[in-house]
Every structure is written in C-alpha cells, then in structure tokens.
Amino acid sequence: MSASLANLMEEGRNAVLRPLAQASTLPPRFYTSPDIFEAERERVFRRNWVSVGRASEIPDAGDRFRIDVAGEPLMIVRGKDTQIRALSAVCRHRWMLLGEGAESSGTIACPYHKWTYALDGTLMAAPLMDKAEGFEHDACVLPSFACEVWNGFIFVNLSSDAEPLARSLTPLAEEFAPWKMDELEIAGRVEFDQPCNWKVLADNFMEAYHHFAIHPETFEPNYPAAISHAEETNAPWAALRMPHRDGALSETLFEPLDGIPDSARRGFSVFNVYPSMLLAVLADSVIWYRMEIDSVEHFKLTIYLLVHPQALDVPDAETLRSFLRDGAFAVHMEDIPACDGVQKGLLSGSARAGRLSHLEGAIHEQQKWLMAELDRP
C-alpha cells in the first residue's frame, strides 16, 4: 500500500470508526481516488457476494445474460440441469467476449472463431485446431465462479473461498419471507447512466434526511425525514425504517399479500445488502437498484420493479405497472441533481469529511463495514 493510500485510510478510520454522535462521513477522496476504487474492486467487490440479476430473467436452459463484476466479464447461464452458473465470458482461445447480445441457445459459441462451449463451460468444439500439437479440449473449460440464488436474486462471488451466502442472511430472509420474494415478477425496469461514484448513490439511498429538501411532494408528506431511523444491525446489511406519518396505513398500487406484517403496511424499509444491493421493501412491491460499477465516477443503474404475480392478476395490471414505472422514474429524477451536485462538490479543494446527523445512521453502518473490508488482509 502506497504512503498516500495508507494516509487516506487512516483519515477514513479517524472519521468513521467512532460512535455515530461523534462520527463524520468518509473523506471526499474515498469517492474520487482511483487508488481507493481499485482497492474496493479487489478487497470488496471481488471478495463479497454481489447481486447481478433475477433467476426469472433466465427461466429456461440456454438462457443467459452478460454482466461485469469488478472488471470481470461474466455470463450468467442456466444449464440443462436447471443450475444457474456464473461463467467467464472470455473465450479460452484469444479472449473474445462471449454472450454479447446472445439469444437463448443450447451452446455458447464464440463469434470470433466459433469455438463452442457447453452450458457448463466445457469446450465442445475448436475448429481447425487439429494441427496444434498437444491441444487438449479438457484444458479449455470456461472458468466458473461461486453463484447462489437467494430469494430469487442471483449472486456471484469471485473469490476462490467464498462462504455460503444464505447462512449470513438468515435473519433478513426471515423478515422478507411474507413477501415471497423468490416468486416476484419483474413488473418493469428503469435504466439510468450515472456519472458519479457508486457510494454517492448508496449514501443517498440509505437516508431519509433529504426527504424534505429533495422529495418535498413525493416522500416528505407521508414519510417525514424526522421520524426515520436506522438500525444497528451488526450484520452484512444496513437497514433504514421509514414509518408513515401518524402511523397510518401506506397507500399501495397493488393489494399486499396476506401475511405482510401490519408494521410493514404502515411505512417501508430500505436495505443495503453489502456491498451494493439496494432494496426498498414496500407493502405491495420490492424495488431493487442494481449498480454495474465500471469506474470511480461512473456506473449503470437498473431499477427493477418487483411485484408478486398474485397482485398482478387484476384487470388493470398494465396501468398499475405503468404507474409503478413512472413513480420510480420520477423519484430517481429527483435524486439525480442531488447525486450530481455531491459528485461535483467532492472534487472541490475545500471539501472535507462532513459530520453525520442521527438520521444518517445507516450511512455510518455501511461505511464502517466498508472500512473493515478495506482493512481486511
């Protein structure tokens, strides 16, 4: 570790690793430093479980999609044995990317020289390689990475010694059980190109302190900033609770499932399943912010709108889907100027770590976790 990075890490510890009432945010350079970003890629995103998609996106054998995690090109594929795998999307011949814009198929074919792989990554055919002495098909298997499906979400872990995901999230799975998340359908998606550091959005998502300023009509009237509260989870996720004003029932687009707790119908909660799975759990739906992070100051955001098929089995389902998409779009359009403004402010020579409000406890939780991961050998 370079001296400048070591000094920045020490500055981060001094700001974050103290009680919330005494704590500050991470220093601005944690959001702008290429060295910090590279450390995050290696120590955070390559060593932890990262959510990449929904199992329902690839329902049949041969279905697949492409995504990069920490700079690693991946292809998420459902095999003929119904298993979902995370395979390297790099051909073992001359490194051509596989699966770009691919439709469902019983094999994986390289578009460059037509090397062809089975859905489990084994090499099936390598045209015109008969004169390559000692060429071994068995040595040209596409590398695979740890892959688990949890509550219908596909997770990938790039490390070679990944601990099982589900065990660490057992309490969260118990809380989410009434929503039957593994059965949820994708009611819509909204995509954004985000020219800011991924933590800017994560911080914004995990506090309601900004409701009265940024969302004065969409959130503040019913979910006031002042009554929001974070939990000290001491777990691999942060949680923020946003009760409805006066404890009233939240208005919903869809009929909530039987079994949704009364407390969940009188507000909603947001979570960051570390490092970057941002979830809003409402009485009638679940909203997932998937970040595809490609640089220190840019990522692609896909907002998934998830609803149970039982709730969609109504005559006006398409109208309700449109309302949900429009609402998600409108809310994020309000957040964009805040994220853009913060990103520009971070570049100021006068920017310093800012003190945290008691309403920003979830930010404090996730930043403590991040520091611990960056310090882990």
First to last CA, the chain: 11
Q: pLDDT (tens digit, 9 = 90+) per residue, 305-320?
A: 999 999 999 999 999 9
Section 145-167 average pLDDT: 96
| Confidence at residue 250, expressed as pLDDT on a 0 to 100 scale | 97
Query: For residue 164, what are its two tokens?
Result: 């099982």
Residue 211, SS3? helix
User: Residue 100 — pLDDT band, cuts 50, 70, 90?
Assistant: confident
Of all residues in the chain, the percent with pLDDT exceeding 90 is 93
Please state, in angstroms and rounded to a whole number, the distance separating the CA atoms of residues 223 and 209: 11
The answer to whether the CB of 118 falls within 8 A of the CB of 108 is yes
Q: Strand, coil or helix: what is 302?
A: strand
Extract the tokens encoding 373. 């991961």
pLDDT at 31: 98
- Asked if residues 189 and 300 have their Cβ atoms less than 8 Å apart, the reply is no
Reply yes or no on whether the pLDDT at 185 is more than 70.
Answer: yes
Q: How far is CA 19 from the centre of its chain?
A: 27
pLDDT confidence bin for 103, thresholds 50/70/90: confident
Please tell me the predicted confidence (pLDDT) of residue 7. 94
Cβ atoms 291, 201 nearer than 8 A? yes
CA–CA dist 6, 14 (Å, integer): 12
- Enumerate residues 6+ apart whose C-beta is below 8 A from 357: 209
- The yes-or-no verdict on residue 104 having pLDDT over 90 is no
Residue type, 172: L
Q: Which amino acid is at 142?
A: L
* Mean pLDDT confidence for 229-247: 96
Report all structural domains of the chain as residue ranges with CATH numbers, in order of start.
3-46+170-375 (3.90.380.10), 50-161 (2.102.10.10)
Spatial distance between the Cα atoms of 120 and 281, rounded to a whole number of angstroms: 34
